[in-house]
Amino acid sequence: MKRGLSPPGAVVVAAAGLAMVCGSARAGSTADYYPRRAWDAFNGGQMNTSILVFRDRNRNGIYDLGDRPMSHVAVELGKPNGDTIMRWSNVSGFANFRMSVLQRNLEVVDPGYYSFRAVPPPGFSVTTANAFQESDYAASPGAPGDMTAQRTTHPVGLAADLTISGAAAPGARISLTGPDGAGAAAKVDPDGRFSAPVTSGEWLVEVSADGATERRKIVVGEAPVVVSAFSGKGGLAEEPLPREHVVGFDDLLTTSGVFEIPSGYGGLNWYNLVAMHQRFTDGPGYINTTTSGEFIAYNSSGHPGQVFSDKPFDFTGAYFGVGWNDAEGETLVLKAWRGDQPAYEDQLVLSASGPVYFAADYTRITRLEIRTQHSWQAAMDDFAYRTGP
């Protein structure tokens, strides 16, 4: 067909700027194009009714600035017929339940009484005193799901139960002095492991064995603390190197990609360690371990990573978790060398629900290896160390 010609037999009508081909279309009215909603009729759509779970970082029982969403927390919905259904909180901290009067295969379909119960992971407690919440739901034609809640839910805050744990010689005596000056004792298991409940603040940990006493000051923040193994030799600690550093991996990239940490970052060399945005994958542990900023590091493909330098450095600590909930309870193994000589080795158990802080006392090392026993990715944030002049 030549441009500008109409099909055979067609009659072209032009009126008020509207062209139509008679017999194949008709002009629509304003009411056709912009229909008014019938607000008294069910529209058959759906919407979410949700509850937010967050990490209450300052433990004040309020969802406020600085708190973060908590992923992969179980939330139960109790239905009017007595049944329950569970959903996990997502990467934004929301446990969503779909609501619709007409779509009967969803979770909330009948008006009536519903309840919500947040179930904390092991080692976590609710800080907001609202793990159980309830509301009546009523039919509301014209609403997105044709139903609305008479009362909306409030955010549920969780915080890790704080402890100081570690390893000492079997038979050692462990004493702890808290920020208020009160003392406590920790029982040492036959294998030398110990753990004691604590509060936030600075603690003095003293380990006595064979007539020698070793002391360390430990600052407890928002996460449980695992201290590196005590030597059992007592005496004065080696003089720390003067320059303190903490790298959080937020200055390596600004988009939600993956970036191999280059040698020279923070003045150290890095191998097989990757930085990424916490939401680049669906792993809840990356979100729950992130402590500062939006980026986090992990050992690439679960293989061992290394941090090393020609000049000795002190490794003083980092936050560690495991990236995936399928790897809950994975063991992190940390080894350090001075030149070719092994100097330190520790193990700690990781969780996808939140980090532990490893308070290291690794002085004058030249290489640190970070690996997991079963080759899962260990998430890491706020890597702290000291360097010399």
At residue 184, the pLDDT reads 80
Are 299 and 373 contacting, i.e. CB atoms less than 8 angstroms apart?
no
pLDDT of residue 28: 87
Could you tell me if residue 9 is inside a domain? no
273: DSSP letter: E
pLDDT in tens, 134-145: 999 999 999 999
Of 113, 95, 72, 12, nearest in space to 323 by CA: 72
CA distance 65 to 129: 19
pLDDT for residue 50: 97
Q: Does 176 share its domain with 98?
A: no
**Do 112 and 178 have their domain in common?**
no
Can you give the pLDDT at residue 192?
86
How far apart CA 291 and CA 59 sit, in angstroms, is 15
* 279 DSSP assignment: T
> What is the model's pLDDT at position 183?
84
In a domain? residue 282: yes
pLDDT for the residue numbered 7: 47
Strand-pair category, 163-167 with 225-227: parallel
Q: What is the full per-residue pLDDT of the chain (389 aa) written as tens digits?
A: 444 444 444 444 444 444 444 455 678 899 889 988 889 999 899 999 999 999 999 999 999 999 999 999 999 999 999 999 999 999 999 999 999 999 999 999 999 999 999 999 999 999 999 999 999 999 999 999 999 999 999 999 999 999 999 998 888 899 999 999 988 878 889 888 999 999 999 999 999 988 889 999 999 999 999 999 987 665 456 789 999 999 999 999 877 789 999 999 999 999 999 999 999 999 999 999 999 999 999 999 999 999 999 999 999 999 999 999 999 999 999 999 999 999 999 999 999 999 999 999 999 999 999 999 999 999 999 999 999 98
Out of 112, 137, 160, pick the residue that ends a domain: 160
Does any domain span residue 136? yes
Is 190 found in the same domain as 204? yes
Same domain, 288 and 197: yes
Q: Is residue 40 part of a domain?
A: no
Please give the residue range of the domain that contains residue 292: 163-387
Q: How many Å apart are CA 304 and CA 336, to the nearest integer?
A: 13
Residue 349, in any domain of the structure = yes
- Looking at the structure, do residues 228 and 357 belong to the same domain, yes or no? yes
Q: Are residues 152 and 274 in the same domain?
A: no
Count of domains observed in the chain: 2
**Tokens (6 digits) for 268:** 């150290």
DSSP 298: E
Q: Does one domain contain both 135 and 243?
A: no
Q: What is the predicted pLDDT for the residue at 186?
A: 87
Q: Is residue 299, in this structure, part of any structural domain at all?
A: yes
Q: What is the rounded end-to-end Cα distance, in angstroms, of the chain? A: 82
Sort 103 into a burial class: Cβ within 10 Å, 0-12 / 13-18 / 19+.
middle
Burial class (CB in 10 A: 0-12, 13-18, 19+), 12: exposed
**Which tokens go with 133?**
């919440």
> Quick one: pLDDT at residue 245?
97
Is 349 in the same domain as 204?
yes
CATH number of the domain where residue 304 is located: 2.60.40.10
CA 75 to CA 122: how far, in whole Å?
14
Q: Are residues 174 and 116 both part of a single domain? A: no
DSSP assignment of 64-100, as one string? -TT-EE--S-EEEEE-TTS-EEEEE--TTSEEEEEE-
Tell me how far apart the alpha carbons of residues 332 and 380 are, in angstroms, rounded to a whole number.
11
Residues 71 and 212 grouped into a single domain: no
How many helices, marked H, and strands, marked E, lie in the chain? Answer: 2, 29
The last residue of one of the domains, among 144, 160, 176, is 160
How far apart CA 116 and CA 152 sit, in angstroms, is 11
Tell me, yes or no, whether 113 lies in a domain: yes
Q: Do 175 and 209 have their domain in common?
A: yes
Domain boundary among 129, 160, 191: 160
pLDDT at site 25 = 62
Q: Is residue 28, in this structure, part of any structural domain at all?
A: no
pLDDT in tens, 165-189: 999 888 889 999 999 998 887 888 9
CB-CB contact of 272 with 263 (8 Å): no
pLDDT value for 19: 44
- What pLDDT, on the 0 to 100 scale, is given for residue 209? 83
Mention every residue, 6+ apart, whose C-beta is less than 8 A from residue 201.
178, 179, 180, 219, 220
Q: Are residues 240 and 383 in the same domain?
A: yes
DSSP letter (8 states) at residue 265: G
